[in-house]
Amino acid sequence: MKKALFSLGLLLAITTSNAQTILSEDFEGATFPSAGWTRTQTVAGRPWQLTSAFPTSTSGFLISGTKSAGVDYINQSNNATLVSPAFSLAGTTTPVLRFKVKVGWNYMIGQNLGNLTAQISTDGGTAWTTLWDEDTEAGFTDDGDNNPATDLYNTVSVQKALTAYAGQANVKIRFQYIANDADAISIDDILVLGNATLGTQEASSKAKDAVALYPNPTKGEINIKAEQKIKSTTVFDMTGKSLLQNDTEKADISSLPKGTYLVKISFADGSTSTRKVIKH
């Protein structure tokens, strides 16, 4: 079973002081697909659906709220699409697409057994242009152990400028999953905003990237170096179970068996960073 083990959020920001919400979908409604959304698939048992209804994968594919949409994996070829209602970008100058997405690095990217794309149509769904695909998304994480069973299924927040499509009046967004025995995927919190400005939380991102754990591998004691003030550290096993917690820049896993663990560092500004550590 391929399952989500831990979710690492990569935060992105959009300046929306004058932004108009043109399309908003968080899949929290009573029915799926939501009104105006359509779906197709080549395998009847693997359509786009709520992740809570996945036949094989665990609930770890939930991204936010109580519901997320996704496609569960199957050991055969599948082509599944989820298409938005038509909307208009007339009167906009800098529209933006925003959504959150979760995939497993090994099967979808490392082995490239599947592809997930976000596409746009300006003729009501006849022709499609790819805006984003998971293979070129830098935010997805390979944990480096070459073991797909312990992949980190991290959530990435995606923003794509739609400036080239400003003024179009018959627009649709499509999420397409094409795979053969790849992995489950999920999306959530889809927004199309008019006249928005792309941006990133650069300070937080740089601080997270600068986090270092040493020695790694370790026999027990772990030192944590970061540019931000550390509020707490929590050690998890690879199933996501919390094992140890403290409020210092050190962690001691001497009492734990040999193996691989995740160390989550929480910073004073509310941001977090998670790193893998191996105990000999």
Q: How do residues 153-165 score in pLDDT, each as one tens digit?
A: 889 999 999 999 9
Which amino acid is located at 90 in the chain? A
Average of per-residue pLDDT across 176-205: 80
**Does pLDDT of 118 surpass 80?**
yes
CB 158 within 8 A of CB 98: yes
What CATH number is given to the structural domain containing 226?
A: 2.60.40
Q: Which helix (H) or strand (E) holds 105?
A: helix 105-105
- Do 71 and 141 fall within a single domain? yes
Distance CA 101, CA 250 (A): 32
- The structure tokens listed for 44 are 């009847």
**Does pLDDT of 83 surpass 50?**
yes
Distance CA 268, CA 182 (A): 38
- Do 216 and 186 fall within a single domain? no
- Do 188 and 215 fall within a single domain? no
pLDDT at residue 226 in the model:
80
Using alpha carbons only, give the angle 243, 247, 251 rounded to the nearest 5 degrees: 55
pLDDT-derived band of residue 236, with 50, 70 and 90 as boundaries?
Answer: confident
Which amino acid is located at 167 in the chain? G
Helix (H, G, I), strand (E, B) or coil at 92: coil
Task: Count the helix, strand and coil residues of the chain and give each as a percent rounded to the nearest 5.
Answer: 10, 45, 45
> Lowest-confidence range among 7-21, 194-208, 258-272?
7-21
Residue 16 domain flag: no
Domain range spanning residue 248? 211-279
Average of per-residue pLDDT across 98-125: 92
Average of per-residue pLDDT across 187-202: 77
Percent of the chain with pLDDT over 70: 86
Q: How do residues 41-80 score in pLDDT, each as one tens digit?
A: 999 999 999 999 999 887 689 999 999 999 999 999 999 9
- Do 123 and 225 fall within a single domain? no
pLDDT at residue 18 in the model:
55
Mean pLDDT (the chain, rounded) = 84
**Does pLDDT of 100 surpass 90?**
yes
